[in-house]
Structure 1
Amino acid sequence: MKNKYQFAQEIIREAGHFIKSKMDHYIHVEEKTQFDDLVTNLDKETQELLISKIKNCYPEDNVFAEEDDIRHPINQGNVWVLDPIDGTVNFIVQGDHFAIMIAYFEAGVGKFGLIYDVMRNLLYCGGGEFPVCVNGRPLPEYEEKPFNRSLLGTNACMYADNYHGIRDLAKQTLGVRVYGGAGISMAQVMAGQLLGYFSHIQPWDYAAAYIMGKKLGYTLLTLDGHPVDFNSRQTIMFIPQAKLTEIKKYIK
């Protein structure tokens, strides 16, 4: 497992260098389901790069990835979950605030996860038997902090609509932060910079944080308190396990 973990760190950094090397070139943008659901040629090329690296070293392993409808169930064999560019809109508009994410499962059990904030060269990785670190520095387990000394990360529309009471919860905190990407938002939760993160996302958006968060005392659940299904887009909360009962007082 240690060799695979080291391999994952190498290929995610290689993918980050690949993206940076191509950012000044022409970027082709396509709409998927609607005008704000976008994909670029670099999303696809980065995913192809990662898959080729994985298949070259581990040909019997399987892939569950965002682009091109690659959907191998995570509970069947060894499975790599890939998000080549998380925060594609940020990537297109800002050239910043996006991440690459990798998660690795064996028979449905998460072994390790990685979130790479490309432009800041911050690699969050670990989970399972590995400590969770950022650029090699161990992150502490969740430390108790009251709502009135915390910030909340959330999807902007869900906050504006007070979806399931998210705005009611946010009013108990010092405010909200909207970063436009699940990976960077959940990394900030694990770093203790956000109390939690609420959004409507896909399995490749949350798989890495799900694995790492367990190691640090965080849980990832649907807003009605059920385990995520790793199959469909769901409204989720990524929060400290110790705060679950308190948060449920506001989340309807």
Structure 2
Amino acid sequence: MEAKFKFAQDLIRQAAVYVRQRMTEDLQIEQKSQFDDLVTNIDKDSQDFMVEAIQKAYPDDNILGEESELYADLKDGHVWVLDPIDGTVNFVAQGRDFAIMIAYYEDGVGQFGLIYDVVCDKLYSGGGEFEVSCNGRTLSPYQSRPLNRQLIGANGRMYASNYLGLADFASKVLGVRVLGSAGISMSRVLEGQLLAYFSAISPWDYAAASIMGQKLGYELLTMTGEPLDYESRQAVMFIPRAEEALIKRDIKKG
């Protein structure tokens, strides 16, 4: 496992260099499900870059990738989960606050995850048998603090509509940060900068943070109470296990 973890760290750094080198190009932007659900040629090319490297190094492994027809079942064998650019709208509009993410599973069990904040050059990695770190600095497990001294991250529309009581809960904390990237938001949870993160996201958006979070005292749950299926887009919350009962008092199941 050590060799695969090192391979993943090298690969995500190479992918970050690849993306940074191409950021000044004129982007080819496509709309997916709606006008603010975008994909660029660099999303696709970055994923192809990572897929080629994985298939060369580990030809018997499977891949679940956001930008292709690679839909492997996480419970079936050795599976890499790739998000080549998480926060594509940020990438297009701001050129910052986006991440590259990799997660690795064996028979449904997360072995390690990686989130790379490309512009800030910050690599979060670990989980499973590996300590969770940011650029080599070991991250601390969740430290409990009063709600009125903490921030949360959230999907802006879910917060504005008070989805399942999200705004009710948010009224008890210092404030809400809407960052536009699941990876960036969840990395700030891992750092202890945000108490929790709430959004409607897909497996490639949450797999890496979920694996690392388990090591630090966090859990990924659906907001509506059904099991996490690791297949479809679901409304989820990434929260400290120690605060689950407190948070659930305000987050009402659908």
What TM-score does the superposition give when structure 2 sets the normalisation length? 0.98
- Identity across matched positions, percent: 56
Deviation at 1:162?
0.3
Distance 2:71 2:207 in 1: 13
For 2:93, the equivalent position in structure 1 comes to 93
User: Is 1:249 equivalent to 2:249 in the alignment?
Assistant: yes
Residue pair 1:114, 1:125 contacting (<8 A) in 2 also = yes
Distance 1:66 1:162 in 2: 28
Deviation at 1:225?
3.7
Deviations 1:149-195, CA, capped at 9 Å, x for gaps: 00010000000000000000000000000000000000000100000
For 1:221, the equivalent position in structure 2 comes to 221
- How many residue pairs end up in the alignment? 252
Deviation at 1:26?
1.4
Structure 2: give runs of 5+ residues left out of the alignment. Answer: none
For 1:230, the equivalent position in structure 2 comes to 230
Deviations 1:13-36, CA, capped at 9 Å, x for gaps: 000000000011111000011111
Deviations 1:25-48, CA, capped at 9 Å, x for gaps: 111000011111100000000000
Deviation at 1:226?
4.1
C-alpha RMSD of matched pairs (Å): 0.6
For 2:159, the equivalent position in structure 1 comes to 159
Structure 1: give runs of 5+ residues left out of the alignment. Answer: none
Secondary structure of the structure 2 residue equivalent to 1:96: coil
1:4-153 matched pairs, under 5 angstroms: 4-153=4-153
What TM-score does the superposition give when structure 1 sets the normalisation length? 0.99
Secondary structure of the structure 2 residue equivalent to 1:69: coil
Secondary structure of the structure 2 residue equivalent to 1:70: coil
Distance 1:37 1:239 in 2: 26
Matched to 1:106, the amino acid is E
Secondary structure of the structure 2 residue equivalent to 1:27: coil
Distance 2:141 2:227 in 1: 21
